[in-house]
Structures are given as structure tokens and as C-alpha cells.
A and B are shown apart, each in its own frame.
Chain A
Amino acid sequence: MALDQSFVGRTYPPTEPYEVGREKIREFAEAVGDANPAYADPDAAKALGHLDVIAPPTFVFAITFKAAREVIADPQLGLDYSRVVHGDQKFAYTRPVRAGDRLTVTSTIEGIKSMAGNDILDVRGEVHDEAGAHVVTAWTKLVARGAEEE
């Protein structure tokens, strides 16, 4: 079933703030085996000019994808989430995410396409801090593989 094209350009209200914790950053860095001291040692992060420990570049995906999932769960959109795979992912940073940040995500559906029986959905998530300053933008391309011919 084709997706509802009228969703293109639709922007959703910002999410509730997500508070970035030092221990959550440490847990993520350990899970990817990354011993960079900027992720775990506040003094090392400060020596690099950061206010507190910073998060690895892809850490913020957990926050933006949660917001994107709420958007794509809209039954009116018609996306079969069980068939979705991650196509592309991109981030553009104004500054790194750091401990103590309270981040909100504003999601926009940038594009809906149908190619070779697959539905392709582009979602942009703008991440801002508590002061309203831009931190990072995440672009996520999701591909819903077409159903088998019946």
C-alpha cells in the first residue's frame, strides 16, 4: 500500500526533554568499546574545551529515532513497521551532545517515495538544548520492503 503523500513536510511538536546523563554516555561508550576519555572523564573533556563529558557522535540517534518512531507509528501514514530497515543515516553537529543537556527533538517528514515496490521515508530530527540552541540535526532514511507478491 502506498504511503499517504500528504504527510510530506509535516512537522511534529517537540518531544519532552531527554536529560543526558554521564553514566548513560559511559554505558554507550563501553558498549561500542570506545575508551576515548572525553566520554568518561570530565577533566579530559574539559581539557578539550567541553563543559562536561561529551557523547560519541552516534549517541543522539537513540533520542532522534525514538521521536521518529512516534511519527511513523501514525496509522494514517500507512507504514508497515515490521518491514522497515534503516537505509541511510546522517548527522550534522553544531556542537557535541554533552552530559547535563536537556534535549528536545522536532521531527519533520521530509520525503515519501515509492521505488521498486519499496516505500522510502525520510525523517529529519532537529535537536535543541534547553536554551533553544541547535545541537545536531539527524536525517534518517527508512525503507519498508515491499510485501511479497500474493
Chain B
Amino acid sequence: MTVATQIAYADVEVGTELPAATFPVTRDTLVRYAGASGDFNPIHWNEKFALEVGLPDVIAHGMFTMAEAARVVTDWVGDPGAVVEYGVRFTRPVVVPNDGTGAVIEVTAKVAAKLDDNRVRVDLTATSEGKKVLGMSRAVVQLV
């Protein structure tokens, strides 16, 4: 497999910031994600159930947040196949109220290390309502 990307390893420094992005999340988003991913846990769409298990409201799928954060990396490199490692810790749920507005996930990322073989480590931050929702969020990306 050849990995074609627009970003050259030589042009990237430790500290290089990737273009940040914000991702809105509504109940509609969560229903679509449930269907596409097969994760029908009612905490992601049923307010009554979410409250019964002690949550403040319906929360987004952690894997939805992980997928959105990845977009900052894949939009940067162009070829999603350039992602060779990706990991996160789910530190806090993204609460999605049924108010027509929902929530917003804000993602920033920067190059944290230059590795061998033209690879870089990108560290990501994802917040919602000013609070961190992902921790230890890192991707290793193959550049050219």
C-alpha cells in the first residue's frame, strides 16, 4: 500500500498546530450514529433511562467523540489511511440536551513528537462546555 498525503515530514515541527475544528452534536446526530455503529445503548437516546442510571441527561457515544476528534487528523493529512495508531481515554461524557441546540465538541491538535520512518505523534484535546472529554488522546500519523 502506498500512503499519499499532502503533509511532508520535513515541513512539520514539534508544536505545529493542526487546524482546529468544532463539531455540533444533537439528539438527531446520536440517533444516526447509533444506527450506523450498531450501538443502541439507551443512554445515548433515552432521557428517562439516562436519568435513571444517574446521568445528567442523554450523553454522546464515546466512540462518536473519538470519531470526530480523528477528523482533525484525517482532514489534515488527507488520506485517512495515514493514521497508524489512535487512542483516547474517555474522561467525561458529552451531555446532549434536547433543546434544539445540543452540544459542541471542540478539538485542537498539535504535533507532539517526530518519530522514525516519517511518522509523527499528534496530541489532541477535545472539550465540551470548556471541560475535557478526552484524555491521553494521541494519534501516530505516517507522513511523506
Asked if B36 contacts A28 (CB within 8 A), the reply is: yes
Specify which chain B residues have a CB less than 8 angstroms from the CB of A27 in the assembled complex.
35-36
Asked, given contacts A57-B74, A88-B87, whether A49 binds B1 with beta carbons under 8 Å apart, the answer is: yes
Query: How far, in whole Å, are A76 and B74 apart by their CA atoms in the complex?
Result: 41
Chain A residue total in the interface (Cβ 8 A) = 36
> With an 8 A cutoff between CB atoms, is B84 at the interface?
yes
**A86 close to B37 (CB less than 8 A):** no
B75 to chain A: closest residue by CB: A36
B90–A85 contact, CB under 8 A? Answer: yes
A-B CB contacts (within 8 Å), total count: 106
B56 contacts the other chain (Cβ, under 8 Å)?
no
Q: Contacting A38 at CB < 8 Å: which of B53, B62, B79, B85?
A: B79
One of B9-17, B64-72, B114-122 at the interface: B64-72
List residues of chain A with CB within 8 A of the CB of B8.
none
Q: Known contacts being A27-B36, A56-B80, is A88 close to B136, with CB within 8 Å? A: yes
Contact A90 B86 (CB under 8 A): yes
A36 cross-chain contacts in B, Cβ below 8 A? 74-75, 80
On chain A, the residues within 8 Å of B80 by CB distance are 36, 38-39, 54, 56-57, 96
Among the stretches A8-16, A58-66, A108-116, A119-127, the one at the interface with B is: A58-66
Please determine whether B85 and A90 come into contact, CB atoms closer than 8 angstroms: yes
Please indicate the chain A residues that have their CB under 8 angstroms from the CB of B1 in the complex: 49-50, 95
Q: A30-B32, A88-B88 are in contact. Are A56 and B70 (CB under 8 A)?
A: yes
- Within 20-54 of A, Cβ neighbours of B (below 8 Å) are at 24, 27-28, 30-34, 36, 38-39, 47-50, 54
Interface residues as binary, B114-144 with A (CB distance below 8 Å gives 1, 0 otherwise): 0000000000000000000000100000000
29 A–B contact pairs at CB < 8 A?
A: A24-B36, A27-B35, A28-B36, A31-B36, A32-B67, A47-B4, A48-B4, A49-B1, A49-B3, A49-B79, A50-B81, A56-B70, A56-B74, A57-B67, A57-B86, A87-B89, A87-B90, A88-B88, A88-B89, A90-B87, A91-B85, A91-B86, A91-B87, A92-B84, A92-B85, A93-B83, A95-B1, A96-B80, A96-B83
Chain B residues engaging chain A, CB cutoff 8 angstroms: 1-4, 23, 29, 32-33, 35-39, 53, 62-64, 66-68, 70-71, 74-75, 78-81, 83-90, 136
